[in-house]
C-alpha cells in the first residue's frame, strides 16, 4: 500500500504544480491590454484593395481598380454607400482629420470603416487635395447625361473626373495625366479589351 500512497501524493504534487503553471499563464494572458475604442483601425489602400475589388465586382460587376498615386498609397481608406453609389475616400499619406470621424460601422461587411460622406468637410478636403475619392457612376437614372457617350474600354475624363468604365476618381492637385495612366495600367486586366498605346 505504501507505493500507492507515494504515487497518489506524487500525483497530487504534480497536479498542484501543473495547476499553478496553468493558472499563472492564464492570468498573464488575461492582463493583455485591449484597444481603448471600438472604432475600426485605419486601413491603407494596399491592405484593402482586394476588398474594394470584391465590393465593386459584387455590386457593379467591375473588379478593375487602379493603384493609388504615391502620395495616397499609405493613407487611411474609409468608405460610404447609398442606394446607387459606393464611395471610398483615400486620405493623403500621413494626413489626419479632426472633423471627419470614422464610424463603428464598416462598409458592406468589409474591414473598411464608414464615414459620413454628407459631412461638408469631406468635400472640402477633396478640393484641398487631402482626400482622393473613388466611386461608381452610371448606376442610377440621375447620371444618364453623364454616362452618354462615355468610352467603354478606355480611360476618360469628364466633369473633372478621371474614369474607366463606370468607376471614377475625383482628386485635386494630381495631374489628370497621372490619373489616366493609373487607369490605363489596369485596363490590361479587363477581359477582351483591345490594348492601345497612349491616352
Q: Which residues pair with 168 in a beta bridge?
A: 135, 163
Tally Cβ neighbours within 10 Å of residue 150.
16
For CA atoms 109, 111, 117, 119, give the dihedral sign: positive
Average pLDDT of the segment spanning 99-107: 93
pLDDT of residue 142: 83
pLDDT of residue 58: 78
Q: In whole angstroms, what is the distance from residue 125 CA to residue 95 CA?
A: 10
17 has a pLDDT exceeding 50: no
pLDDT of residue 70: 94
75 has a pLDDT exceeding 70: yes
**Which distant-in-sequence residues (6+ apart) come within 8 Å of 92 by Cβ?**
71, 72, 75, 129, 130, 131, 132
pLDDT of residue 12: 45
31 has a pLDDT exceeding 70: no
Hey, what's the torsion of the CAs at 71, 39, 52, 83, to 10 degrees? -120
199 has a pLDDT exceeding 50: no
pLDDT of residue 47: 94
Say what percent of the chain tops pLDDT 70. 73
pLDDT of residue 15: 36
Say what percent of the chain tops pLDDT 90. 52
7 has a pLDDT exceeding 90: no
pLDDT mean across residues, the chain: 80
Element (H, E) at 134: strand 131-136
71 has a pLDDT exceeding 80: yes
Amino acid at each position: 500500500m505504501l507505493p500507492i500512497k507515494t504515487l497518489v501524493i506524487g500525483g497530487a504534487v504534480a497536479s498542484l504544480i501543473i495547476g499553478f503553471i496553468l493558472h499563472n499563464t492564464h492570468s498573464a494572458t488575461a492582463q493583455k491590454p485591449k484597444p481603448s475604442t471600438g472604432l475600426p483601425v485605419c486601413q491603407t489602400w494596399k491592405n484593402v484593395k482586394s476588398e474594394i475589388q470584391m465590393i465593386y465586382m459584387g455590386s457593379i460587376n467591375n473588379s478593375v481598380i487602379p493603384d493609388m498615386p504615391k502620395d495616397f498609397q499609405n493613407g487611411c481608406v474609409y468608405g460610404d454607400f447609398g442606394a446607387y453609389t459606393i464611395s471610398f475616400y483615400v486620405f493623403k499619406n500621413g494626413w489626419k482629420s479632426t472633423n471627419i470621424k470614422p464610424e463603428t460601422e464598416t462598409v458592406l461587411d468589409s474591414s473598411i470603416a464608414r464615414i459620413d460622406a454628407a459631412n461638408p468637410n469631406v468635400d472640402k478636403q477633396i478640393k484641398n487635395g487631402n482626400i482622393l475619392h473613388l466611386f461608381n457612376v452610371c448606376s442610377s437614372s440621375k447620371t444618364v447625361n453623364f454616362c452618354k457617350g462615355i468610352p467603354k474600354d478606355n480611360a476618360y475624363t469628364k466633369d473633372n473626373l478621371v474614369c474607366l468604365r463606370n468607376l471614377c476618381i475625383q482628386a485635386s492637385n494630381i495631374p489628370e495625366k497621372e490619373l489616366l495612366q493609373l487607369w490605363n495600367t489596369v485596363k490590361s486586366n479587363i477581359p477582351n479589351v483591345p490594348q492601345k498605346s497612349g491616352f
